[in-house]
Amino acid sequence: MKPPPVDYAAPAMVEEAVALLAEHDGDAKVLAGGQSLIPMLNFRLLEPSILVDITRIPELKGIRDDGEAMTVGATTRYVELRNSELVRARFPVLGAALPHVAHLAIRNRGTLGGSLSHADPAAELPMMALLLDAELRIAGARGARRIAAEAFFLGPLATDLADDEIVVSVRFPYPADGIGWGFAETARRHGDFALAAAAALIGVSGEHVVTEARIAVMGVDETPLRIAEAERLLIGRRLDSDALADAVRAVREAVTPDADLQASAEYRRHLVGVQVSRALAQAWERAGGDAR
């Protein structure tokens, strides 16, 4: 239960960090908050030759508002997102999900970039990145690039990041004014990884119908997922019980959950439908769906 022998570097610039990663050619690991990496080191699931600590790089810190989007530095901690006025004002759905991430002391250390790079299929922030159409800015020894969250997550603990790349920041475009949001999660105990969770955004027109729908789920497939079919079939409809049932059916058909000690695959498939239904109902109400 102790980490294996390892070297350590704490560069001050992104260029130095990616140069170190390139130099060690797949044998280095990026260390930020360490809340996933250090348990893996303690269990000796990983034995990198060097840890590249990116938390001393000023460029990776902070939350910025450019009028059209919020850009969050990769080493921004969960607690900073939760305390952010900008998150509270523009991304209440993100604010609702954050308390479900592990526990207080973990949220005081864990980072946005770390959560996305770790890509646990039952972690809240990867699902939120999908829901919010986030774009990741990535730096690498061979240059910088951008990638949509939708293309970033490839499998359990697998992403599009190359060994010599790090996430620099994540851009969250502001949803349309008046959009409603919902979030629902079930875990065995508060703070545990979710058995299943869902989040939704709903835009409603003056004619009482859905004009925009986004549905994201997690814990029920190899990566978090957007359920495009369920989103599409809600457009132009009121969110009545028929529409909800259609969306839930589409979600249950789209996911391929695994069984484990905590829940069977069938239970997870059922549960995610319930969560989607709850998240959609919340979003519809918050968008003023029935009040208009």
Partner 1 sequence: MTAKKTISVTVNGTVEVRTVEPRLLLSDFLRDTLDLTGTHVGCEHGICGACTIFLDGDSVRSCLTLAVQADGAEIVTVEGLGDADRLNFLQRKFREHHALQCGFCTPGMLISATDLLRKHSELSEAQVREGLSGNLCRCTGYEHIVRAVMAAAEEWDGEWNEATPRECTS
- Rule CB under 8 A: which residues touch partner 1? 1-8, 10, 31, 34-35, 38-39, 41-43, 51, 53, 55, 79, 99, 102-106, 108-109, 189-191
Query: How near is the Cβ of 237 to partner 1 at its closest, in Å?
Result: 37
**Cα distance between residue 166 and residue 146, in whole Å:** 11
**Cα distance between residue 213 and residue 14, in whole Å:** 37
Q: How far is CA 214 from CA 41, 172, 261, 286, in A?
A: 37, 14, 31, 14
Query: How near is the Cβ of 32 to partner 1 at its closest, in Å?
Result: 10
CB 140 within 8 A of CB 164: yes
- Cβ-based nearer residue to partner 1, 106 or 162: 106
What does the block give as tokens for 1? 């239960």
Query: How near is the Cβ of 105 to partner 1 at its closest, in Å?
Result: 5
What does the block give as tokens for 240? 């009545």
- Cβ-based nearer residue to partner 1, 5 or 206: 5
- Cβ-based nearer residue to partner 1, 3 or 11: 3
Burial group, residue 159, by CB count within 10 angstroms (0-12, 13-18, 19+): buried
Query: How near is the Cβ of 211 to partner 1 at its closest, in Å?
Result: 36
- Cβ-based nearer residue to partner 1, 192 or 258: 192
- Cβ-based nearer residue to partner 1, 108 or 256: 108
Q: In what order do the strands lie in the sheet with 165-173?
A: 63-65, 69-73, 165-173, 135-140, 143-148
Query: How near is the Cβ of 193 to partner 1 at its closest, in Å?
Result: 12
